[in-house]
Amino acid sequence: MTAMTKTATDKRKTAAVPDYHEQVVELGRETVGQVRCAEPFMVAEKVNVHYGDNHAIRDVTLEIGKKEVVALIGPSGCGKSTFLRCLNRMNDSIESARVSGNITLDGTDIYSKEQDPVALRARVGMVFQKPNPFPKSIYDNVAYGPRIHGLAGDRAELDTIVHSSLERAGLLKEVKDRLDEPGTSLSGGQQQRLCIARTIAVNPEVILMDEPCSALDPIATARIEDLMDELCEDYAIVIVTHSMQQAARVSRRVAYFHLGYLVEVDDTDKVFTNPQHKLTEDYITGRIG
Amino acid sequence: MQSTTLILLLGLLAVGAFYFGRDRSLSLVGGPGKGRALHSLPGYYGYFVAIWVVLPALALLFVWILLEPKVVAALVVDGLPESYRSISAGELNLLVNNIRNLASGDVVSVAVDNDLRRAAALFNDYSGMSRVLLTVLVISLATLGGVLAWRNIRPELRARNRVEAVIRWGLIAASSIAVLTTIGIVMSVLFEALRFFQMVPWSEFLFGTTWSPQTAIRADQVGSSGSFGAVPLFAGTLLITAIAMSVSVPIGLMTAIYLAEYATSRVRGIAKPLLEILAGIPTVVYGFFAALTVAPWVRRVGESAGFEVASESALAAGLVMGIMIIPLVSSLADDAINAVPTSIRDGALGLGSTRSETMTKVIFPAALPGIVGGILLAVSRAIGETMIVVMAAGLAANLTANPFDAVTTVTVQIVTLLVGDQEFDSAKTLAAFALGLMLFVVTLCLNIIGIYVVRKYREQYD
Ligand SMILES: Nc1ncnc2c1ncn2[C@@H]1O[C@H](COP(=O)(O)OP(=O)(O)OP(=O)(O)O)[C@@H](O)[C@H]1O
Ligand SMILES: [Mg+2]
């Protein structure tokens, strides 16, 4: 009964492309391609997310390797952000959200009772769509994480962390002389790099990025893409993006989501040159938007 | 005809005029199907005619009501015998009042003679004539306005623009009433206060430490000087405000933080309306709560702890006032906290902060300007609060910082200065205006600073 009502709501959402909907229900249940990877670090098994009655993520299984960039793509509302937020339990703060299934980080279940979500988020950092620096100075923005986690013994150590984080985020040269100015006084692209610096200052193991460049111009975007290339030498990165070019440039593997299903996941070259699933093909050739 | 009947009649005429005007506009272009040939919707032509029926007639009515008593009085006085011509303006005023009272059958303060009786009859005649004349004039003006407007209707007449202009002016008039009244009140307080400062030097008022406003009404009374040093009053106000704020700020802030960051939406849904009820309790209820429950309790507790406590203590009034202000503080702080964008909250959580770290290290500092603005508004509310302190703080103008003593506040003194029989131009009465002016200036400054801070902070994220 509930399954039927859900199908009915889904149908209304995609009334313009009913045949795709049918295909997803029929064909999208089984993910095609390679969900497994050689050196899995973060593993999601049969993850389901409900927002109240809305079944936003359906049976998604995906492995993310150590030092690997995985891009999540798909049409708006397909659940990319929702899936991403499962990986550091940011969905906990949404009252209506229910997450089921199994997600492990380096072998430990992150949804187990013993797991403290606060400690988890120090290991799995997140960069948001809109730059969101705190209304504090540039220095305090970056120092915030190390301070609350007690990463620095004294002021000198904290200075080192702040400087090296800004350096790695490619921002140090621009803000060296104005560390006391508010973070909100920077430009949008600088703010986003500040947010990245803030995230890596905690020294996480995985970095989640939800459309980190969607509010930025092409030059700022290029800088952040370069930055990702460097960061992936140390961190696993999961990035949500609406730009196929960006996914092609920065990621090693691509996962295509559709209406809550993970339809296809494989090496980036393979997905973009030779997609296995018709839905993926239609999306990357621009027929679903 | 009575003015109210006349106004009702005008209303009826306006309704009729609306239909006439609308139908004429439609018939000019050839029926309801052709409404597009008109510049405005047909209804606007109806309103156009109705406005011309009502507005000029109403204007006449009001001018008439304003001027009629003066004109009639002048005519009646003209009809009096020669002997009355030479009397002074004040006496003339009294005389006219007496004539009016006699005419309406009220009590008269002088012996009724024939002159007076004749004058009263004359007064009644003129009033009756005036009423008939008014009715006739108003109705003909309404008809005239309506007919002219009706004939003026053409398809290209910009009826909508005209109607909207009238509406706009109506709205401007309505809002200027509030502004003008405020200005009027401020002016009258200012001028009365200036009169006070002619009697009592402002330096004594501002820096004197003795407040005892008993001036003598008769010259031979003792203790007639009166002394108007307002420092004890301001000190008392300050003491009670400080007590009130030290209750309401922590409790209000914690309430706001709990509601904004920790409470589930169900708890919030119950708690917020409850707080609003607390805000809606009339202050007089808080007042007797303070006087009858809290004050004796404070006294009992204080005395058992070995303090000497007045039965009307600053502490009791301050505590209750603090409770009264909690909803104000918490709702303003809640607004400030909610104005901090969720993205910043998510950013802090995403870095692995706990809820309380997010609150104390990120959200609270970000919301601080708004919270401070809200607290300033609450302070100005506390300073101006009257009822609770009248009932619970007492009248003794003590200069003290001891919360167990009785103190008095500016507002309490204003009330006591003006209650009862007073000479209106004595220093004692005028002192109330001086106090009012001070109060007004202080709360105005606090409000301006508070609103400025709140607004500046809002702009930061928009
Ligand atoms: N906080 C929430 N409460 C309820 N429903 C939500 C919430 N967030 C997302 N959803 C629903 O979950 C589904 C997936 O949303 P999600 O934000 O994950 O999509 P997305 O793929 O990130 O889209 P976009 O590309 O537009 O960001 C949508 O149907 C959305 O309506
Ligand atoms: Mg999204």
Domain of B275 in residue numbering reads as 225-461
Strand partners, A127: A209
Residue A115, both tokens? 């797991």
Tell me, in angstroms, the distance from the centre of ligand 1 to residue A79's CA.
6
Flag whether pLDDT at A20 surpasses 60. Answer: no
Nearest CA to ligand 1 atom 5: A51
Residue A145's pLDDT is 93
Residue A5's pLDDT is 45
Say if ligand 1 is within 6 A of residue A88 CB: no
Say if ligand 1 is within 6 A of residue A56 CB: yes
Confidence of residue A71 (pLDDT cuts 50, 70, 90): very high
Domain membership flag for residue B34: yes
ipTM (interface pTM): 0.84
Confidence of residue A9 (pLDDT cuts 50, 70, 90): very low
Residues A256/A267, Cβ–Cβ less than 8 Å = no
3 state DSSP class of A50:
strand
Residue A123, both tokens? 């290991």
Q: State whether B347 and A128 contact (CB < 8 Å).
A: yes
Same-domain status, B248 and B356: yes
Residue of A nearest to B366 (CA): A135
Residue B458's pLDDT is 62
Long-range contacts of B431-436 (CB under 8 A, 24+ apart): B431/B196, B431/B200, B431/B205, B431/B213, B431/B228, B433/B189, B433/B192, B433/B193, B433/B195, B433/B196, B434/B192, B434/B193, B434/B196, B434/B197, B434/B200, B434/B205, B434/B228, B434/B230, B435/B230, B435/B233, B435/B410, B436/B189, B436/B193
The b-or-e profile of B304-333 (16+ CB within 10 A means b, else e) is eeeeebbebbbbbbbbbbbbbbbbbbbbbb
* Maximum alpha-carbon separation in chain A: 64
Same-domain status, B139 and B25: yes
Residue A12's pLDDT is 47
Environment class of residue B407 by beta-carbon count within 10 Å: exposed (0-12), middle (13-18) or buried (19+)?
buried
Which domain CATH number covers B406? 1.10.3720.10
Same-domain status, B282 and B431: yes
Domain boundary among B119, B140, B157: B157
Residue A92's pLDDT is 87
Same-domain status, B140 and B249: no
Instruction: Measure the CA–CA gap between A224 and A213, rounded to whole angstroms.
Output: 8
Same-domain status, B145 and B234: no
Residue B1's pLDDT is 61
Residues A196/A224, Cβ–Cβ less than 8 Å = yes
A94: contact with B, CB 8 A cutoff: no
Same-domain status, B230 and B345: yes
B130: left (phi over 0), alpha (psi -120 to 50) or beta: alpha
Nearest CA to ligand 1 atom 18: A79
Domain membership flag for residue B193: no
Tell me, in angstroms, the distance from the centre of ligand 1 to residue A84's CA.
11
Residues B352/B272, Cβ–Cβ less than 8 Å = no
Partner-chain residue, chosen from A95, A118, A135, that has the shortest CB–CB distance to B352: A118
Closest approach of chain B CAs to the CA of A148, in angstroms? 7
Residue B446's pLDDT is 87
Same-domain status, B310 and B388: yes
Closest CA to A145 of B342, B339, B354: B354
Domain membership flag for residue B235: yes
Partner-chain residue, chosen from A90, A133, A202, that has the shortest CB–CB distance to B346: A90
Q: Which residues contact B93 (CB under 8 A, 6 or more apart)?
A: none
Cβ atoms < 10 Å from Cβ of A155:
9
What percent of chain A is modeled with pLDDT above 70? 89
Instruction: Measure the CA–CA gap between B431 and B409, rounded to whole angstroms.
Output: 14
A125: contact with B, CB 8 A cutoff: yes
Residue A14's pLDDT is 47
Enclosing H/E stretch for A127? strand A124-127
Domain membership flag for residue B217: no
Q: Token match 């969720």: residue?
A: B342
Cβ atoms < 10 Å from Cβ of A282:
17
Same-domain status, B150 and B247: no
Domain membership flag for residue B171: no
Closest CA to B407 of B240, B241, B192: B240
Between B311 and A29, the more confident residue is B311
Residue A71, both tokens? 């891009």
Same-domain status, B153 and B229: no
Same-domain status, B127 and B229: no
Q: A19-33, A90-104, A157-171, A194-208: lowest mean pLDDT where?
A: A19-33
Residue B395's pLDDT is 79
Q: State whether B350 and A136 contact (CB < 8 Å).
A: no
Q: Which residues contact B439 (CB under 8 A, 6 or more apart)?
A: B383, B384, B410, B411, B414
Q: Which residues contact B396 (CB under 8 A, 6 or more apart)?
A: B310, B405, B406, B407, B408
A212-233 pLDDT per residue, tens: 988 788 888 888 898 888 888 8
Instruction: Measure the CA–CA gap between B143 and B99, rounded to whole angstroms.
Output: 36
Residue ranges of alpha helices (H) inside B79-113 are: 89-104
B347: contact with A, CB 8 A cutoff: yes
Each of the 462 residues of chain B gets a pLDDT tens digit; together they read: 678 899 999 999 999 999 999 999 989 888 888 878 888 888 999 999 999 999 999 999 999 999 988 888 888 888 777 777 777 777 888 888 888 888 887 777 777 778 888 888 888 888 889 999 999 999 999 999 999 999 989 888 898 999 999 999 999 999 999 999 999 999 999 999 999 898 888 888 888 888 887 765 555 555 556 788 888 888 999 999 999 999 999 999 999 999 988 888 899 899 988 888 888 899 899 998 888 999 889 889 988 988 888 878 889 999 999 999 999 999 989 988 988 888 999 999 999 999 889 999 999 988 888 898 889 889 999 998 888 888 888 777 888 888 888 888 888 888 888 887 767 777 788 888 999 999 999 889 988 988 888 777 665 554
Length of chain A: 289
Residues B213/B226, Cβ–Cβ less than 8 Å = yes
Length of chain B: 462
The residue among A96, A121, A211 with the most chain B CBs within 10 A of its CB, best to mutate, is: A121
Tell me, in angstroms, the distance from the centre of ligand 2 to residue A129's CA.
8
Same-domain status, B111 and B249: no
Same-domain status, B143 and B232: no
Flag whether pLDDT at A15 surpasses 50. Answer: no
Domain boundary among B117, B140, B157: B157
Domain boundary among B157, B173, B203: B157
- Evaluate the CA torsion angle B203, B205, B206, B211 in order and state its sign: positive
Pairing state of beta strands A97-105 and A40-51? antiparallel
Backbone angles phi, psi at A54, to 5 degrees: -85, 115
Strand partners, A51: A54, A97
Residue ranges of alpha helices (H) inside B200-230 are: 202-207
Distances B25 to B16, B37, B50, B122, B297 between C-alpha atoms, Å: 14, 10, 13, 50, 76
Instruction: Measure the CA–CA gap between B320 and B289, rounded to whole angstroms.
Output: 8
Domain membership flag for residue B371: yes
Instruction: Measure the CA–CA gap between A117 and A120, rounded to whole angstroms.
Output: 5
Say if ligand 1 is within 6 A of residue A130 CB: no
Flag whether pLDDT at A19 surpasses 60. Answer: no
Average predicted confidence (pLDDT) for chain A: 86
Residue A135 with chain B: CB contacts under 8 Å: 344, 365-366, 460
Residue A195 with chain B: CB contacts under 8 Å: 347
A122: contact with B, CB 8 A cutoff: yes
Residue A161 with chain B: CB contacts under 8 Å: none
Partner-chain residue, chosen from A93, A184, A195, that has the shortest CB–CB distance to B347: A195
Total domains in chain B come to 2
Instruction: Measure the CA–CA gap between B219 and A19, rounded to whole angstroms.
Output: 103
Say if ligand 1 is within 6 A of residue A53 CB: no
Pairing state of beta strands A236-240 and A69-73? parallel
Closest CA to B398 of B390, B408, B412: B408
Domain membership flag for residue B384: yes
Domain membership flag for residue B181: no
Residues A44/A103, Cβ–Cβ less than 8 Å = yes
Tell me, in angstroms, the distance from the centre of ligand 2 to residue A215's CA.
13
Residue A28's pLDDT is 56
Q: Token match 């290029």: residue?
A: A222
